[in-house]
Amino acid sequence: MADLYKRLDKDNAAVLLVDHQTGLISGLVRDYGVDEFKNNVIALARTAKFFNLPVILTTSFEHGPNGPLMQELIDLFPDAPIISRPGQINAWDNEDFVAAVEATGRKQLIIAGVVTDVCVAFPTLSAINEGYDVFVVADASGTGSKQVANAALMRMAHGGAQLMNWFSVAAELQRDWRHDVEGFGALISAQLPGYQNVMGSYAGAQKDATQK
């Protein structure tokens, strides 16, 4: 019987960020507020940076109404390949995109994008057909409504994708707090302000322990 729990492995995972473009985010994402959505995308990106995962960026019609890629992603990954698709709706139909994925040598693909029902769903299902394990980051993917998002997520799950959020991606990659308590805590606290209380408690406990 095949393992039902396929765990993310930082040595076998790559991150695909599809069409996180300013025009698409402001014009089409309605299942999240803009600020919350951008925070989730940046959180996923910083998670990829923290674990040194290969990242592939792709855009569609960036010089038109879809707008440019989020500047924060460009700043975080200045050396990452940016695949500018001339017209393919499904990024997996673009040979350069697929070649960039293959070049990572990774078989686990963490994917997020705009919009969930098209730009995320299509390459997700295509990659699964090619034998990849795909992990869809739901809260770093946006679309026109929660109903549309739910239908798209259900379609991908039925197709074999695993559905996650950025925090669960980070936690599964980390696996054990003891690998880097301060570094991992700083990553989480930066994007989840409430988690700063947890790290404050930890810091206080560490201080008390050294004073005894």
The residues annotated with a catalytic role in the active site are 119
From start to end of 64-107, where are the E strands?
82-85
Cβ neighbours of residue 127 closer than 8 Å, sequence gap 6 or more:
92, 101, 109, 111, 134
Using a 10 angstrom Cβ sphere, with 0-12 exposed, 13-18 middle and 19 or more buried, the burial of residue 61 is middle
Cβ neighbours of residue 148 closer than 8 Å, sequence gap 6 or more:
31, 116, 117
How far lies 144's CA from each of 24, 35, 136, in Å? 10, 16, 17
What is the DSSP-derived secondary structure letter of residue 119? I
> What span, in angstroms and rounded, lies between the C-alpha atoms of 120 and 118?
6
Residue 50 three-state SS: helix
Residue 45 three-state SS: helix
